[in-house]
Structure 1
Amino acid sequence: MSESVLSARTALVTGASSGIGWETARLLAELGATVLVHARTTGEAEAAVARLVDAGARRDQLVELAADFTHLSEVAVLAGTVVKHYPALDLLVNNAAALAPERCTLTDDGNEVSLQVNFLAAHLLARLLRASLSASGDARIVNVSSSLHRTASMNWSDPHRVKKYSRVAAYAQSQLALTMATADMAPVGSGITAVSLNPGLCDTALLPLYGRAGAPAAEGAAAVVRLCLPDAAVANGAYYDGGSVAPVAQAAQEERSLKRLVKLADQLVGQAA
């Protein structure tokens, strides 16, 4: 594939310090994109960029950005920085994800930690970056989800699962929410296309949740990058698995549930929006 296929494009990859996120940043840079490399801390972002340069990326293609997604205020600052320096953003890869802890853990914002890191941060970024994405004229959002979303249900009465907590159920719910909200991130007429995907079972920090051997993270990243390419014909709001559109959870097909989710997410991100 041509090294210049993405040469005029700018991409923000969240959770790019390791695993699928880092490999996605590497592949996008290899294709010529300017890549905004997000990590939790400045040190982690700088280390990720240094490894990308060692792997062959040009330093002038890479920009390190830091934000701890357990603090929604930092997500908002990150978005503000991107808007200021990149008024037209071509790609947003919502890859950042965290395992749900053994015990129910709430962030300082009051949200279950995996729900916030895996979904609410992406929801907030898509909101705050909408103008920049629309300005691109042909922007794409790619949400890195999981096949576990099909096992999940939204606990509407207790979304943080404080009353009855299971780390697997909490994590799966966060991925269901991300998959459900994908279409909302690309409203009709916005010039944005949004898709979600299962990158496959890869050997990343999330593997312990699945308890099986995983493929190299580069394989998952390749699946992500295929959906980022301008000539990839994708269906807005669709969920992909293995390169093809795949079935989603029933809740993701219900307009009423989507509206309820978006309303809930807007409430939970609160003043950060």
Structure 2
Amino acid sequence: MPDSTLTSRTVLVTGATSGIGYETALQLAERGATVLLHGRTAEEARAAEDRLIASASADANRLRTYVADFTHLDEVESLASRVVAEHPHLDVLVNNAGIAAPERHTVTADGNEIALQVNFLAHYLLTCLLEPALTTDPGGRVVNVSSSLHRAANIQWNDPNRARRYSRLAAYAQSQLALTVFAADPRVTAVSVHPGICETAMLPLYAHEGATPAEGAVNVVRLCDPDVEIVNGAYYHCAKRAEPASAVTENRTIKRLNKLADQLIGRTA
């Protein structure tokens, strides 16, 4: 059933082809939003669109597909250019795409540790490039799908790509801390949310069992609703606002992370 608060909204969901991202796209579409579906490949994006249309609750005219492999920053730039050109008024960006860090230290063609790039740097770049389209109207926002594991993390400022000492869990947690800190950047109206431990590809990092991706998506979609007032920069654990790691609220950390991110993606002020 379309929801009057979302029928006029245009929302880009990254990583919308599976897990919480797909369920977020589905719930937004069911409530009447125009949903921009991002996938790693054209095949995956089209398959997700077909599934949404087959659900009989999504309007095909309100779905668009976009492609970018976040292990290639040039593809992120192309994605942003296309979105800005085709949707100059973007209400919500859901930074959801993510991977579990691999067992072995892996570096992208851009020279970054893969989890740091896919989970944080690509979203940092995408958000910066979408700034011309992201609305400043009330209710406009960025929602970073983060993790409670950010609390156990630290950013290795002198070795962010963890070339000297690599741990799968530490690399993943670092990427989530960076994404959570980025939500507190005053340049954007944003929040971060831990959607809960769900039965997704990330589950082995957390536990042996979890909630359904649809249950996790409820906590993301809620923050996309303009009727839900948010505290800019806040961190939410499922449906409730929670205290994040202390680093998230430190202005010095936010500025330092921005500087590091710009350096790693080759972006100059």
TM-score by length of 2: 0.96
Q: Are the structure 2 counterparts of residues 215 and 104 from structure 1 closer, same or farther at C-alpha, using a change threshold of 3 Å? A: same
1:104-151 per-residue CA deviation (whole Å, 9 max, x = no partner) reads 100000000000000001101110011110365641100000000000
What is the aligned partner in structure 1 of residue 16 from structure 2? 16
Asked if 2 retains the 8 angstrom alpha-carbon contact of 1:11 and 1:34, the reply is: yes
Matches within 5 A, 1:47-196: 47-56=47-56, 57-134=58-135, 138-184=139-185, 186-187=186-187, 193-196=189-192
Q: Which runs of 5+ in 1 are unaligned?
A: none
Aligned residue number for residue 212 of structure 1: 208
Distance 2:101 2:207 in 1: 15
Q: CA deviation at 1:69?
A: 0.2
Match of 2:44 in 1: 44
Deviations 1:19-39 (A, max 9, x none): 000000001111111100001
**Post-superposition CA distance 1:58-100 (Å, at most 9, x none):** 1111101110000000000000000000011001000000110
Judge which range, 156-165 or 132-141, deviates more.
Answer: 132-141
Residue number in structure 1 paired with 2:240: 244
The amino acid across from 1:6 in the alignment is: L
1:202 is aligned to 2:198 = yes
Q: Identify which of 252, 255, 260 aligns with 1:256.
A: 252
1:271 to partner: Cα distance = 4.9
Give the secondary structure class of the aligned counterpart of 1:267: helix
Which of residues 219, 225, 242 in structure 2 aligns to 1:223? 219
Q: Percent identity between the aligned chains? A: 58
Partners of 2:250 and 2:218 lie apart in 1 by 30
Query: Following TM superposition, by how much is the alpha carbon of 1:178 offset from its aligned partner in structure 2, in angstroms?
Result: 0.2
Query: 1:72–1:269: 8 Å Cα contact kept in structure 2?
Result: yes
Is contact 1:94-1:141 (8 Å) kept? yes
Distance 1:2 1:44, change over 3 A: closer
Would the alpha carbon gap of residues 126 and 224 (structure 1) be closer, same or farther in structure 2, given more than 3 Å must change? same
| C-alpha RMSD of matched pairs (Å) | 1.5
Once the two structures are TM-superposed, the CA of residue 4 in structure 1 deviates from its matched residue by 3.1
More deviation in 136-145 or 6-15? 136-145
Change (3 A) 1:116 1:240: same
Say whether the 8 Å CA contact 1:183–1:194 is kept in structure 2. Answer: yes
One-letter identity of the residue aligned with 1:239: Y
Once residues 242 and 232 of structure 1 are traced to their aligned partners in structure 2, the CA distance between those partners, rounded to angstroms, is 14
Distance 2:265 2:90 in 1: 22
Counterpart code for 1:269: I
TM-superposed CA distance for 1:248, in Å, is 0.7
Write the letter of the residue equivalent to 1:123: Y
TM-score by length of 1: 0.95
Q: 1:237 to 1:135 in 2, by over 3 A?
A: closer
CA contact (8 A) 2:191 2:231 kept: yes
Report how far residue 183 of structure 1 moved. Answer: 2.2
For residues 84 and 52 of structure 2, what CA distance do their matches in structure 1 show? 24
Structure 1 residues 23 and 272, CA gap change in structure 2 (3 angstroms)? farther
Q: Take 2:268 and 2:138, find their aligned partners in 1: how far apart are those partners?
A: 26
Per mean C-alpha deviation after superposition, the further-off stretch among 196-205 and 206-215 is 206-215
Q: How many residues are aligned here?
A: 268
Q: Which runs of 5+ in 2 are unaligned?
A: none
Asked whether the equivalents of residues 88 and 136 of structure 1 are also in contact (C-alpha less than 8 Å), the reply is no
- Aligned to 1:197, the other structure's residue is in SS state strand
In the other structure, the counterpart of 2:29 is: 29
Does the C-alpha gap of structure 1 residues 211 and 137 become closer, same or farther in structure 2, counting only changes over 3 Å?
Answer: closer
